[in-house]
């Protein structure tokens, strides 16, 4: 199976896309990795979807990645006597721990941890930022606030606190149960919500135990502030622009997106741009021009993958959304300016043998006009480093480990193929040429640039580069 693009597509499964036929149609339309959203659905629902994806993987003979997206702590207000109130600018509203139903003057905020850190002048955002409150006074158990931006406010709306780091772990009790279940299923990536500190990622990595790669979702100002430390501990990051656009000024989001993608690329970490990419296609078969430009911008930035959320989980046109995203990526990558942008943001190789070989492979492939770069890898690190180079040639990853091939389904430009490890140099070249032809990445008479490690099968030992001719 061959995709005519380098940027990958991550799509969310949900009630509208749970059947074998619908999941197969999404994969055929271009999905590389499926996202299981643990904010919705039961473990039984996710288990059924997992079985369907793995059966599809076997039927298509191509690795398919699965990402489990953990919910994270959910902060919400309580209930109102009449299901909601109308808040106007300048009105006062008290938030407290009282379980009694609220009215125009007060409402429950059942999160004592928030009151512990609120200060005079702090801001609270309710209902995805539609309501903005400023704290006038706080005694540790309640807060008097002034409405800066009003709207109708109904039961159980979400709360964001952008100004402070909350004394909450990124993993709730539910998240811990979900993480354990996801690992038992055999998912390939874990996306961690509500990341505020590097310690949040460290805890998730410890619980994952190396059985899945960990992706930190960047959706809070504190995560942006500590981004480099979070990046160091993560295998990848997701720029979750929904909550990020609520807790930071919306005009800052495009600037942050470019900066975070650039830093992730420099570190060789997988980076996903997510949220509202083709939002209108939830109910329309066609995207807006602005949405198309948004997807293209993420591709120009060099993101490893772009994500569809509600568009495929509950939307009326999930296959059309994937097809549109696939077409936009292809058109963008075919732009004559695309390669210029990739090369302009290429990071300097780190001072390691593996990075030196990987950077040289990209340069040699371009110099001799090779058809593809072939990487032999066990852990996947060689192929992730090859993707960091954003080469003009496709990357064919050959690995003996199924879990590695699935994880690499999310990496920019990587075509993962499951195969036995090479026995010797002759077998290395022969296997690379045969598979490159089979995968339609090379034809007879073309050249391949091959990287591997000696002794064969040793993780992280990339130390040789070979140019090979593909014979008839």
Positive or negative, the CA dihedral 185, 187, 192, 198 is positive
Alpha-carbon distance of 363 to 372, in angstroms, equals 12
Name which of 266, 461, 270, 465 is nearest 377 in CA terms. Answer: 461
Q: Are the beta carbons of 53 and 22 closer than 8 angstroms? A: no
Q: For residue 430, how many other CB atoms are within 10 A of its CB?
A: 15
**Which residues of the chain fall short of a pLDDT of 50?**
none
Active site residue 447: no
Segment 229-285, tens digit of pLDDT: 999 999 999 999 998 999 999 999 999 999 999 999 999 999 999 999 999 999 999
Q: Is 369 exposed, middle or buried (0-12, 13-18, 19+ CB in 10 A)?
A: exposed
φ, ψ at 278 (rounded to 5°): -130, 50
Residue partners of 262: CB distance under 8 A and separation at least 6: 301, 302, 345
pLDDT at 13: 98
From the list 8, 35, 407, 447, the catalytic residue is: 35
pLDDT at 164: 85
372-410 core/surface letters (b: 16 or more CB in 10 A; e: else): bbbbbbbbbbbbbbbbbbbbbbbbbbbbbbebbbbbbbb
Residue partners of 13: CB distance under 8 A and separation at least 6: 23, 34, 35, 36, 37, 49, 312, 313
The domain 84-160 is placed in CATH, from the list 2.40.33.10, 3.40.50.970, 3.10.450.50, 3.40.710.10, at 2.40.33.10
Segment 391-436, tens digit of pLDDT: 999 999 999 999 999 999 999 999 999 999 888 889 999 999 999 9
pLDDT at 350: 85
Query: Token digits for 230?
Result: 């979070």
Alpha-carbon distance of 89 to 126, in angstroms, equals 14
pLDDT at 457: 67
Alpha-carbon distance of 254 to 244, in angstroms, equals 11
Check if CATH label 3.20.20.70 holds for domain 348-469: no
DSSP H helices in 226-337: 227-233, 241-247, 253-267, 289-301, 310-313, 318-333
From the list 132, 157, 217, 390, the catalytic residue is: 217
Active site residue 35: yes
84-160 and 348-469: identical CATH topology = no
From the list 7, 145, 270, 275, the catalytic residue is: 275
Helix (H) or strand (E) holding 37: strand 33-37
Helix (H) or strand (E) holding 389: none
Global pTM?
0.93
Q: Are the beta carbons of 10 and 35 closer than 8 angstroms? A: yes
Q: Are the beta carbons of 158 and 127 closer than 8 angstroms? A: yes
Helix (H) or strand (E) holding 85: strand 84-86
Alpha-carbon distance of 80 to 83, in angstroms, equals 5
Name which of 115, 110, 152, 158 is nearest 135 in CA terms. Answer: 115
From the list 3, 74, 76, 174, the catalytic residue is: 76
Active site residue 217: yes
Name which of 133, 148, 128 is nearest 247 in CA terms. Answer: 128
Helix (H/G/I), strand (E/B), else coil: 306: strand
CATH number of the structural domain 8-73+170-334: 3.20.20.60
Q: For residue 236, how many other CB atoms are within 10 A of its CB?
A: 24
Name which of 426, 421, 434 is nearest 470 in CA terms. Answer: 434
DSSP state of 163: T
Domain ranges (residues) in the chain:
8-73+170-334, 84-160, 348-469
């Amino acid at each position: 199976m061959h995709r005519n693009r380098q940027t990958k597509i991550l799509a969310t499964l949900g009630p509208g896309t749970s059947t074998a036929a619908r999941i197969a149609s999404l994969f055929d339309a271009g999905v590389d990795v499926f996202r299981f959203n643990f904010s919705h659905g039961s473990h039984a629902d996710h288990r059924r979807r997992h079985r369907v994806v793995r059966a599809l993987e076997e039927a298509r003979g191509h690795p398919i990645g699965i990402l489990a997206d953990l919910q994270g702590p959910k902060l919400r207000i309580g209930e109102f006597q009449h299901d909601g109130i109308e808040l106007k600018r300048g009105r006062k509203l008290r938030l407290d721990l009282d379980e009694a139903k609220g009215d125009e003057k007060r409402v429950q905020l059942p999160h004592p941890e928030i009151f512990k850190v609120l200060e005079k002048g702090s801001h609270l955002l309710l209902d995805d930022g539609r309501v903005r409150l400023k704290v006038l006074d706080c005694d540790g158990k309640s807060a008097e606030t002034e409405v800066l931006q009003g709207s109708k406010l109904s039961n159980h709306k979400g709360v964001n606190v952008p100004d402070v780091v909350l004394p909450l772990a990124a993993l709730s009790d539910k998240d811990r149960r979900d993480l354990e279940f996801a690992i038992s299923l055999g998912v390939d990536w874990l996306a961690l919500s509500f990341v505020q500190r590097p310690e949040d990622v460290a805890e998730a990595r410890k619980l994952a135990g190396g059985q899945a790669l960990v992706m930190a979702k960047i959706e809070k100002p504190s995560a942006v502030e500590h981004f480099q430390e979070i990046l160091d501990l993560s295998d990848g990051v997701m720029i979750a622009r929904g909550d990020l656009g609520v807790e930071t000024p919306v005009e800052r989001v495009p600037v942050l997106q470019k900066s975070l993608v650039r830093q992730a690329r420099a570190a060789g970490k997988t980076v996903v741009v997510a949220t509202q990419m083709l939002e209108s296609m939830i109910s329309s078969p066609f995207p807006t021009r602005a949405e198309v430009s948004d997807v293209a911008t993420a591709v120009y930035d060099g993101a490893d993958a772009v994500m569809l959320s509600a568009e495929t989980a509950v939307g009326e046109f999930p296959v059309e959304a994937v097809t549109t995203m696939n077409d936009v990526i292809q058109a963008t990558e075919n732009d004559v300016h695309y390669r210029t942008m990739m090369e302009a943001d290429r990071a300097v190789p780190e001072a390691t043998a593996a990075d030196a070989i990987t950077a040289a492979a990209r340069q040699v492939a371009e110099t001799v006009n090779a058809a593809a770069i072939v990487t032999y890898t066990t852990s996947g690190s060689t192929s992730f480093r090859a993707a960091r180079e954003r080469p003009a040639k496709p990357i064919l990853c050959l690995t003996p480990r199924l879990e590695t091939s699935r994880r690499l389904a999310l990496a920019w430009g990587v075509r993962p193929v499951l195969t036995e490890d090479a026995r010797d140099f002759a077998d290395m070249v022969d296997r690379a040429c045969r598979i490159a032809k089979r995968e339609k990445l090379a034809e007879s008479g073309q050249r391949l640039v091959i990287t591997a490690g000696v002794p064969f099968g040793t993780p992280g030992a990339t130390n040789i580069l070979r140019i090979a001719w593909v014979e008839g």
